[in-house]
């Protein structure tokens, strides 16, 4: 894959480049500030971009802003935010540009290369990869909604797993229940939220994320 990387810390940026190259990916641009990131996204049109939210010059949300601007001109441009900060609002803003190809991972919770590469591949393929803490934050913000309040505790756990991009088998393994039970919970969730059921994993996750972003 062709990847644009935005990270202001030299050691982390260099380490990520080496990791990605070791897995056969091409880093077509590695930048350390917001303006250069926007230019790289616009010119390179990568298969996926890995972006630190807070970049120079102000270290606030330059990375996010560059990603949002790029996705307005190139809808569906895959973006994986990589940050040390839990900011559900950032995830909501990114989701508002369209649910396909978005991710938000926390740096200190990425524990191995396989996990990280899986998230990158998922986002590049048009899916989602959201850290559980980010999903929880989205659900808390949405918790006052009567439709979400109608979900049982188990259904909320399944919804969180769906939003993270897990398959039925992955949800079953994480929650120690059967895949048949997972399918039943998913049916209940879509029924209570008024969302169409679909056999396509990405589409059902996007439907859930679209609901969360309303």
Q: What is the pLDDT of residue 112?
A: 82
- Per residue in 169-189, pLDDT (tens digit) is 989 998 999 999 999 998 888
Higher pLDDT, 81 or 163: 81
Higher pLDDT, 198 or 63: 63
- Residue 204: pLDDT above 70? no
- Tell me, yes or no, if the pTM score tops 0.75: no
Q: Which domains does the chain have, with CATH numbers?
A: 2-131 (3.40.50.2300), 143-213 (1.10.10.10)
- Per residue in 50-62, pLDDT (tens digit) is 999 999 988 989 9
Length of the chain: 214
**Could you give the C-alpha distances from 120 to 12, 100, 156, in angstroms and in order?**
17, 13, 25
Q: What is the pLDDT of residue 77?
A: 94
């Amino acid at each position: 894959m062709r990847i644009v990387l935005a990270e202001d810390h030299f050691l982390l940026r260099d380490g990520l480049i080496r990791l990605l190259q070791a897995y056969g990916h091409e880093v077509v641009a590695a930048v350390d500030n917001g303006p250069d990131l926007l230019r790289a996204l616009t010119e390179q049109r990568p298969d996926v971009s890995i972006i630190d939210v807070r970049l120079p010059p102000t270290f606030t949300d330059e990375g996010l802003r560059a990603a949002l601007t790029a996705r307005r001109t190139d809808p569906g441009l895959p973006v994986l935010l990589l940050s040390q900060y839990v900011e559900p609002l950032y995830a909501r803003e990114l989701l508002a540009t369209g649910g396909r190809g978005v991710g938000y991972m926390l740096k200190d919770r990425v524990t191995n290369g396989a996990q990280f590469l899986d998230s990158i591949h998922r986002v590049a393929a048009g899916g989602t990869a959201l850290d559980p803490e980010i999903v929880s934050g989205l659900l808390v913000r949405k918790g006052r909604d009567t439709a979400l309040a109608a979900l049982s505790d188990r259904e909320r756990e399944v919804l969180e797993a769906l939003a993270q991009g897990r398959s039925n088998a992955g949800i079953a393994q994480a929650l120690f229940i059967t895949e048949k039970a997972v399918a039943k919970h998913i049916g209940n969730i879509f029924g209570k939220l008024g969302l169409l059921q679909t056999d396509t994993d990405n589409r059902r996750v996007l439907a859930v994320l679209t609901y969360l972003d309303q």
